[in-house]
Structure 1
Amino acid sequence: MPQLLSAKEQSLFRTVVRNYEDKQYKKGIKAADQILKKNPKHGDTLAMKALIMNSQGKTDEAFALGKVALQCDMKSHVCWHVYGLLYRAVKNFEEAIKAYKFALRLEPESQQIQRDLALLQVQMRDYQGYLASRRSMLTARPSIRQNWTALAVAHHLNGDLTEAERVLTSYEETLKNPPSKTDFENSEAVMYKNSLIAEQGEYQKALDHLESAGKHNLDRLAVLELRATYLAKLGKSEDAVQAYRALIDRNSEYKTYYDSLIEVMGISKDNQAKKAVYGEYAEKYPRCDAARRLPLDFLEGDEFRGAADQYLHRMLDKGVPSTFANLKNLYSDRPKKEVISSLVQQYIDGGKSEANEEPKRSGDTSKGASSAFYFLAQHYNYYLSRELDKAMDYIDKAIELEPQSVDFHLTKARIWKNYGDAPKASEIMEYARTLDTRDRHINTKAAKYQLRANDGVAALKTMGMFTRAETVGGPLVDLHDMQCVWFLTEDGQSYARQGKWGLALKRFNSIYNIFDVWQEDQFDFHSFSLRKGQIRAYVDMMRWEDQLREHPFYTRAALSAVDVYLKIHDRPLLNGANGISEVNGEDAAERKRVAKKARKDAQKAEREAEAKKNEPNKASKDGDNDAKKKDDDPDGVKLAATTEPMKDAMKFVTPLLQFSPKSIDAQTAGFEVYIRRKKYVLALKCLLAASALDSHNSKVHQQIVSFKLALDRDSESLAPKTAEVIKSEFKLLPALLSPKDSPSIEKDIASVLQLPTITFGAAQEALELLNSWKSGEVVTFKTSAEKKWPKAKIFA
């Protein structure tokens, strides 16, 4: 039976609750102890004390006390609610939902429990449960607009657009007075309803709604864009043309407006008509760049040459640094690429424009010349037109004219990078940084190049110039706190190149955790967005979160992590976390000794971390927060000493294959992990997917051979059904090709240097592959590659 409190103690219990809400944790504990002194088995007080202890960072003690509270009073909704909150705090949302449901059975009218349950249901994408919770909350309090909006969102997320629209309409019918025109929440609700109508494909209805309810909407740009879109979809060309012209008048640099205007005018295939439209806006807006640049995409021959000459002359005279960046997507068209380079060369040689035989103004000569040299340096550094010696010659000429230009030195560093000389590239980039020490962009580039040169200490020092000086732990901790993913990725890859696998895995796992944080951070927006009425942004966020791990940042870090785990599996560590050694694969005793030593190092690190954790805190009042930040594996010893590297790699591989199935790198990484785990059907699935994406890829060819060899080796141990599936699906290996023909395969790999489009990065990968096979072609390959990239250190 639950203990009953006196009136005085009930007042004291309300004080405990208030202290928790005000974050006065010490006072709350003191008040709870006063109640428990006379009523040691009062479940609600024990539960509140557990909640306060959890807020102080004492999670284990809080859970223990929470269980005691439930034992004392199993029929208390407070105890069950608190138990759910404790599970929510440790991100165990499934158990938290169960606890909330128990609490709700005991107290069906509790809005707080219902709200907490709904938030967890939408976080877990339990849309059916979320719908039921929101319907219940609306029934209980129909006068609150937020409840109506939330129910509409629940129907929307559940795929029922018609019902979502009906809910919003029902709420509008309950209003006695129309909302103010400056009511932001109503403005957003109107636009959200309009988006629901349009998403159902009812564009005429959406247009009518927009011109009535949305006529005075606060988001004027969205109204104009949607109106133009609806008119275009309804085939009302004349009105759509006027709508898109109005949008161009608002923003004459937005390419999408021009594309849409040309489409609704019906002149998509008439180059002369399109040219006239762009010419009209180029004349109307003399400073507009888009109207002059976009015609270069479709013009051909002499027309292209004339327009390109005018554009280049205009941009180079002004010394616009982004000129090459604006034009490089034309380089996929070889004739246009050649025309552009010849025009810039003529600009340098003749000092005149072909289009108008007027010489350049004398005041612009120096700026124009340096800009032209800079353009050609980028042109010859670009992978579709790469001639690095010419690129270096032109950038040196540009620097001679403007020796203090940050952009020029930055490009020179890029040229050295493409030569394959990372230390020299880093040196030049660092000099560029000193030319403008207040520019965060060049500071970041300098740090990146230092990491590429494996100088992590210098990179951290460089980044430290723009991090908070007061951060405990220095710049690296601040970069973690700021979730600076690019730095952590580059740092991890640098450690991987140096063979410091523990630190590399430390960085890649940090990135994995950052993506988890981004996944969890949406939790606060489930209530915030509804409270603020930002519904359209909220729905967009939910859709983005559902595809979060297809982000290139995750893909890059995950592939790097998998590569390290593969190396750990294939070649065990000799010196704990951050040292490697060549270990004879046939020497089983040596392999066991290596693994044993790695495990001992990990156990020692774990004991030291535990000892530090148990030390009394002598620091400051914020000791609990400090304890949370303590890292029990700062060098990644335990990560690198894993006895199941392929199992650990699966943590990275699974999201890769789920969210990036069209990435050949993801499929080849999945194959490498599955083949080592002897999951042959899954390995074959990845191999077939990779082959479908690019059947000529050298890595795919290598994996086909590896798969055949693995099947031959383990054919007797395969289950009959597995063998039957593999036999029916695995038809990639040509009948005439034997896996034993490795010399011919190695020669094929070595011959990639003859390809005209071969890049330095691809040559690097080919060399790594030949090295991993201990191929006899390595020396020949290096000799040929050194002739092609004489300044590259890796081929020396």
Structure 2
Amino acid sequence: MAMKALIMNAQGKTDEAFGLAKEALTVDMKSHICWHVYGLLYRSIKNFEEAIKAYKFALKLDPDNNQIQRDLAILQIQMRDYQGHIQSRFTMLQARPKFRQVWTALAVAHHLAGDPAEAERVLTTYEETLKATPSRQDFENSEAVMYKNTLIAEQGDYSRALEHLETAVKHNLDRLGYLEGRAEYLAKLERNEEAATAYRTLIERNPEHPEYYEGLIDAAKRLPLDFLEGNGFADAARAYLTFMLDKGIPSTFANLKHLYSDSSKKDTLLKLVSEYTEAAAKDEAKSEEKKDESKGETAGLYYLAQHYNYHLSRDLTKALEYIDRAIERIPDSVDFHMTKARIYKHTGDLVKAAEVMDKARSLDTKDRYINTKAAKYQLRNDENEKALKTMGMFTRADTPGGPISDLLDMQCMWFLTEDGEAFARRGETAMALKRFHQIFNIFEVWHDDQFDFHSFYLRKGQVRAYVDMIRWEDRVYEHPFYTRAALDAVEVYLKMHDKPSANGINGGDGADGDGDSERKKAARKARKEQQRLEREIAEQAAKRDPNKAKPAAGDTKKVDEDPHGLKLAATTEPLKEATKFLAPSCKKYLLALQCLNSAIALDQSNPKVHERIVEFRHVVKPELATLPAKVAEVIKSSYPAIEEAADLAKVNGEFLAGNKGSPAHILSGVRTQKVLGSADKAACEKQLLDLVKMDATTPDIAEEALETLKAWKSGEATAFKKAAAAKWPQVSRFA
């Protein structure tokens, strides 16, 4: 009966399988096979907690069953039950102490639990049991020795790690691992000359690997332009700029912009490039010889356009002037048009930015990068259909479902994110949710994919790669793409909750507070598109050559039953759906505190940092009593920004009083008032409306204030937008 349940589950009859498995247990509660199968069924539906319970029952009935023990160990590491995993691996070692794999598995268990010293001891104990030295061609032994070396290094004992590398590891099969480890350890031990030589050896071996150059730079006390000052810097910069601009190298500004954090170096570079450009123009005027247009004066103009477009030296009027002069000299330059599009983006004119970037794309239709940039700018301008058509130039033409299907297969998350955000701005809630859920599903696949590797790494001896993978998986939901999509989805669901749609299809507001008619129009359009897609797939299936071999059952692509997100948008529980996105990162107070303290160390005066400082204390204070004692203790001892007993409204009031002339600080202070409830809604709205009148207010700050008013469901949003459009007519978002 239990085995039949397994077969039924493999056929997709999950409910019937569980029913039969439960019936099997009622017949024989002491059957380890029945309990094992019950655990396998729970594992198949990803209910790992119940699967672990079932496996433990099975092991009580048959303690020596190696297969059940292995299945339990795999689930324990999947759930990050490190202590349980260690115990399972130790039990397996006791049963089969002659196999290297079980020793390695126990070492990895200790390592992942945060004890590299114990992991090293386990490997050393196994080495002492060997009667003969393994062959140098023994891959499994080679990997184990390299893994032991990384364990020594992780303990911070780089001297011993280097010694072990030069003795036990030097002649193993992983020559590259030896060379990389040696360079790293020499650098850590500050033996810089030897480290530089080691990194040069690696660069000769692979000149395309950027990390080797970074290591060499660190060992060689960084580049001269980074540490020189005054006249010494000016002389070195002049020589560097002359060499680069004479050759017309487009990346000159990109190579130097990190120096702009030093205002004196920024001013020196501007002066040097301006002098160079003027001199080059005079030389070219005198010379009758025809010269490469991309060099000399043109290269200087391009640098100056980038200089004035950069946020630390921004003057967009001058930036446009210089880039237009450069384009006049080389009208078909892709780089120049891309820079012009970026300048328009920074002015807020997204329509013009998209047009110019598409012009750049048309100048080189074989370049995937510029094609991607054009699509991105079109999405920022809410041109979803046009952007998809642009991306379709580089996707497979025969893919059923069109370009979006191919982009999904390739897990092209930047496009899915931008596409979803554009749909959200247009008020097309269904498609916005569809895109955000597609990103959620991609991360879920990545998380689930680790399962098979818990046993694979032992069979193939890939220990170091496995440990790296586990650590990457532990942080996968911290990826910016996931965080961005999750916040976007939550915002949409909150709007649906605050203002449910009458038709249940598009629950959020329109882009500018449009009514139900726009949402119904979008829903009708989505339904028509879904019907068109179904017809297209059916026609392609009908045209398929009947003589060609049909794909295997396992190769059949699963049909998306909700391609336009209509079912997602029709949910009656938006808050419940929103929590799915938050679950991987919700209420991680210590991680939040760690990030916040890092932000404070960078710039405590930043208005966004102030918002987070007050909000963190406001949210965490009532939670302290319910948190684990150690967590509460760490929060109390590691959060010096605001005292626990401080009056947060008073702290925020002082912040506003001290920054009356800064629109960014006022915006953050007012939003904090709203969070604390220390001012009424009307007073907060008036303070935001007054931001438009301030000379220091930028379009970016105004746009952020407008979004804040919309989020508050403020009736003043329309008035604010009208005033902003009058002040900044070029900004597309206010049009």
TM-score normalized with structure 1 length: 0.73
Q: Which residue in the other structure is 1:180 paired with?
A: 135
Q: Which residue in the other structure is 1:791 paired with?
A: 730
Q: Which residue in the other structure is 1:304 paired with?
A: 233
1:138: how far off?
2.1
Q: Percent identity?
A: 56
In the alignment, which of 524, 527, 530 is matched to residue 452 of structure 2?
524
CA–CA distance in structure 1, aligned partners of residues 572 and 616 of structure 2:
15
Summarize the Cα distance change of 1:650–1:699 in structure 2 as closer, same or farther, 3 Å threshold. farther
CA deviation vs aligned residue, 1:473-500 (integer Å, no higher than 9, x gap)? 3322332232222111111111110111
Q: Does 1:705 align with 2:705?
A: no
Q: Which stretch shifts more, 533-542 or 57-66?
A: 57-66
Summarize the Cα distance change of 1:413–1:187 in structure 2 as closer, same or farther, 3 Å threshold. same
CA–CA distance in structure 2, aligned partners of residues 352 and 184 of structure 1:
63
Q: Which residue in the other structure is 2:504 paired with?
A: 576
Summarize the Cα distance change of 1:329–1:204 in structure 2 as closer, same or farther, 3 Å threshold. closer
1:74: how far off?
3.9
Q: Residue 629 of structure 1: SS of its match in structure 2?
A: coil
The aligned runs of 1:488-637 (5 Å cut-off) are 488-578=416-506, 629-637=558-566
Q: Does 1:442 align with 2:370?
A: yes
1:120: how far off?
0.8
Q: Which residue in the other structure is 1:726 paired with?
A: none
CA–CA distance in structure 1, aligned partners of residues 612 and 288 of structure 2:
55
1:334: how far off?
1.9
The aligned runs of 1:125-524 (5 Å cut-off) are 125-231=80-186, 239-251=191-203, 254=212, 256-258=214-216, 260-262=218-220, 294-351=223-280, 363-364=291-292, 366-524=294-452
Q: Which stretch shifts more, 494-503 or 246-255?
A: 246-255
1:222: how far off?
3.9
Contact 2:161 2:185 in 1 (8 A): yes
Q: Which residue in the other structure is 1:745 paired with?
A: 687
CA deviation vs aligned residue, 1:197-218 (integer Å, no higher than 9, x gap)? 2323334432322221012234
Q: Which stretch shifts more, 144-153 or 196-205?
A: 196-205
CA deviation vs aligned residue, 1:44-63 (integer Å, no higher than 9, x gap)? xxx33333333333333333
TM-score normalized with structure 2 length: 0.78
Q: Which residue in the other structure is 2:661 paired with?
A: none
CA deviation vs aligned residue, 1:501-546 (integer Å, no higher than 9, x gap)? 2221222222223222221111122122222222222222222222
CA–CA distance in structure 1, aligned partners of residues 592 and 481 of structure 2:
12
In the alignment, which of 54, 60, 63 is matched to residue 15 of structure 2?
60
Summarize the Cα distance change of 1:431–1:738 in structure 2 as closer, same or farther, 3 Å threshold. closer
Q: Residue 296 of structure 2: SS of its match in structure 1?
A: helix
CA deviation vs aligned residue, 1:351-410 (integer Å, no higher than 9, x gap)? 2999xxx99997545433333322222222222222223222322333333333322222
Contact 2:610 2:668 in 1 (8 A): no
Q: Residue 228 of structure 2: SS of its match in structure 1?
A: coil
Q: Does 1:100 align with 2:59?
A: no
Summarize the Cα distance change of 1:466–1:100 in structure 2 as closer, same or farther, 3 Å threshold. farther
CA–CA distance in structure 1, aligned partners of residues 572 and 612 of structure 2:
20
RMSD: 4.4
Summarize the Cα distance change of 1:316–1:656 in structure 2 as closer, same or farther, 3 Å threshold. farther
Summarize the Cα distance change of 1:101–1:773 in structure 2 as closer, same or farther, 3 Å threshold. closer
Q: Residue 351 of structure 1: SS of its match in structure 2?
A: helix
CA deviation vs aligned residue, 1:717-756 (integer Å, no higher than 9, x gap)? xxxxxxxxxxxxxxxx6xxx8877447633664466515x
1:770: how far off?
4.4
Q: Which residue in the other structure is 1:48 paired with?
A: 3
Contact 1:770 1:777 in 2 (8 A): yes
CA deviation vs aligned residue, 1:576-596 (integer Å, no higher than 9, x gap)? 3237569xx9xxxxx9x99xx
Contact 2:674 2:684 in 1 (8 A): no
1:310: how far off?
1.5
CA–CA distance in structure 1, aligned partners of residues 459 and 505 of structure 2:
48
- The one-letter code of the counterpart of 1:766 is A
Q: Does 1:754 align with 2:704?
A: no
Q: Which residue in the other structure is 1:37 paired with?
A: none
1:124: how far off?
0.5
Contact 2:278 2:297 in 1 (8 A): no
1:467: how far off?
2.9
CA–CA distance in structure 2, aligned partners of residues 632 and 307 of structure 1:
63
CA deviation vs aligned residue, 1:185-243 (integer Å, no higher than 9, x gap)? 32221121122223233344323222210122344454345445545655xx6x55323
Residues matched between the structures, number: 661
Contact 1:750 1:777 in 2 (8 A): no
1:174: how far off?
2.6
Summarize the Cα distance change of 1:296–1:786 in structure 2 as closer, same or farther, 3 Å threshold. farther
Summarize the Cα distance change of 1:409–1:330 in structure 2 as closer, same or farther, 3 Å threshold. same
CA–CA distance in structure 1, aligned partners of residues 400 and 612 of structure 2:
38
CA–CA distance in structure 1, aligned partners of residues 690 and 406 of structure 2:
47
- The one-letter code of the counterpart of 2:215 is Y
Summarize the Cα distance change of 1:215–1:549 in structure 2 as closer, same or farther, 3 Å threshold. same
Summarize the Cα distance change of 1:352–1:224 in structure 2 as closer, same or farther, 3 Å threshold. farther
In the alignment, which of 643, 651, 673 is matched to residue 580 of structure 2?
651
Contact 1:444 1:463 in 2 (8 A): yes
CA–CA distance in structure 1, aligned partners of residues 617 and 143 of structure 2:
49
CA deviation vs aligned residue, 1:120-176 (integer Å, no higher than 9, x gap)? 110001112211221222222233322111110011122333321121112222333
Q: Which residue in the other structure is 1:39 paired with?
A: none
CA deviation vs aligned residue, 1:249-270 (integer Å, no higher than 9, x gap)? 54397454345435xxxxxxxx
CA–CA distance in structure 2, aligned partners of residues 762 and 683 of structure 1:
35
